[in-house]
Chains A and B, each alone.
Chain A
Amino acid sequence: MKKINIKNLIVACLLFSIPVSTIISGCAASAKVAAKTGSQLWSENCRRCHNTPPATAFSADQWETIGLHMQSRALLTETEKNKIVQFLKGE
């Protein structure tokens, strides 16, 4: 394989960063979705792959870690993850 040309790589990075960041920040939830509570999101999302774990299953610190882990497995949105973790931590 030819070596990757650094100049091309930087140009490609910059070119791609514009549409990608526009898409990511342009994505917004509808008012109905934005109004969902942590407990609602927990009951709707966590059961898609396995049984829904109760809040008592782990400590607050553990939920922070599991929150990141499940955000990646389930590809939750940032808001969903934050609200669900807050709910599970009992905040």
Chain B
Amino acid sequence: MKKSILLFGFIGGMFLFPFNANIFAQSGTDSTVIKLAQEVNSLKAGESHFLVVGLTTFGFVNSSTTTNGIKQKPSSTNTFDANHYEFSPMFLWRHGKNLLLEFEPSFDGNQIGVNWACASYFVTPGLIVRGGYFVLPFGMYNKRLAAGWIDKVATDPIGVADAPPASDWGVEAEGGLPLGSMKCSYDIAITTGYQMLHDKLQDGALQNPNGSGLTDNNNNKMVSGRFALLPFSNSSLEIGVSGIFGKVGDTNDSLYKDATTTMYAGDITYLADIRPFLLNIKGQYNVINVNKGTFPNPGDSTKTYSFSNTSTSYFGQISLRPVSLRNKIIRNFELAFRYANYITPKGSLWEQNSTQTSIGLDYWLSWRSIIKLTYETVNSNYASMGISGDKTKTNYVYLQYSVQF
């Protein structure tokens, strides 16, 4: 309770910032003239600007799976890649110089969902406040790299894009600040929160609010945030740390009402010019903890079974593009390699240890349109309550096109 007062106070305090910022203003004729000009500007009717952009991604996939060493039939399938299809217009409406409304509906082949719908107010240098439905500040993949025309391989890293839920309803405060020759940024959100599942097959897992049917099962809000430092003056290195804290138990559930989650993430981005190449390194590591891991045994409800409810996921990606070559064709090629791993709790009913290795050869038709040829192998070991299950290995070849328009 005290925590939520402090947090609301924190956000509220930021709203008050423009008033006490005057303390720092310089006196003198110059500042009086600037102030007058600002006052005149603030009285002018704000100009509005409406912009429709968006993206689409589509392609083909060939896949073949081996389960416990036995090739599955048919030995390989060639299909339109429905899993990664997306058509998402994005509506940006700017009112004056400080208000931006963003709406991105998205059709994934089956249904129309909403990626985000929110209003951002640029309060003062270094402070943006937002309200609505938005991508949570946790790590960097979901907020910054998930778009098909940005991602350099045809798929999302396993367990990174989907395991910590992506979007939620709430309020957010963020900003970028100079720090001598460095830079830093903060991004804090208070949102509705997630729900811990308690339905046998997924006992102890968290429900992703990004899908349908999120119910706010308690009155406590969830807090998420990311803090980042860009230590070099040319912004080539960014290191981010994130956390998510909140109740996930159902208030009506006497056994699990106190269930809480704590998540952490670390992310890194580094760009280096190694002529003629641009080297691009990206990575993110996530840990998801839930404090409940004892549930009724599905085989015998008079007994319980327990596990340590921690999941981890990470990805590392390296890509190389000869940007400064003269040859226009060759400089539009990019080579990308990504490794990802996802481990769910050992001893749970949904135990999984999956690794995903992806190699991509991309061709950039313009700065925002890309053709990707990705070869990917996903190895998964499944288990249930400590008893080993299937081991699968699937090879994929993707040919994908994505464009921002």
Contact = CB atoms under 8 A, between A and B. Distances in A.
Given A12-B5, A45-B235, A78 B125 contact: yes
A70 to B, nearest CB: 11
Interface of B: 1, 4-6, 8-10, 12-17, 20-21, 24, 49, 51, 92, 94, 97, 100, 102, 120, 122, 124-128, 130, 143-145, 147, 149-150, 174-181, 183-187, 219-220, 228, 233-236, 238, 269, 271, 278, 364, 367-368
Interface in A15-34: 15-18, 20-21, 23-25, 27-30, 32-33
Contact of A68 (B122, B124, B368): B122
Given A24-B177, A27-B178, A4 B126 contact: no
B175 A75 contact: yes
Contacts, number: 164
A6 B200 CA distance: 42
B405 to A, nearest CB: 11
B233 A9 contact: no
A65 interface: yes
A77 B126 contact: yes
Interface string A68-91: 110111111111100000000000
Given A4-B5, A77-B178, A47 B233 contact: no
19 contacts: A9-B8, A12-B12, A12-B13, A13-B13, A16-B14, A17-B17, A21-B13, A24-B124, A45-B235, A47-B278, A50-B150, A50-B368, A62-B51, A68-B120, A68-B122, A69-B92, A73-B144, A75-B185, A77-B126
Contacts of B100: 65, 68-69, 72
Interface string A52-77: 11100100011011101101111111
Contacts of A18: 13, 20
Contacts of B175: 24, 75
Contact of B367 (A12, A14, A52, A66): A52
Given A16-B9, A68-B100, 5 more contacts: A12-B10, A17-B13, A44-B235, A72-B120, A74-B176
Interface residues of A, number: 53
B143 A73 contact: yes
B219 A20 contact: no
A86 B12 CA distance: 32
Interface of A: 1-2, 4-5, 8-9, 11-18, 20-21, 23-25, 27-30, 32-33, 44-45, 47-54, 57, 61-62, 64-66, 68-69, 71-80
Contacts of B143: 73
A71 B17 contact: no
A69 B120 CA distance: 9
Pairs A-B, 10 closest by C-beta atoms: A12-B9, A16-B13, A78-B125, A17-B13, A75-B185, A75-B176, A29-B178, A13-B12, A51-B367, A1-B219
A89 B8 CA distance: 38
A44 B14 contact: no
Contact of A54 (B1, B150, B181, B367): B367
A40 B124 CA distance: 24
Contacts of B94: 64-65, 68
Contacts of B368: 50-51, 53, 57
A24 B120 contact: no
Nearest to B50: A65
Contact of B181 (A11, A15, A16, A32): A32
Nearest to A49: B144
Contacts of B180: 28-30, 33
A73 B94 CA distance: 15
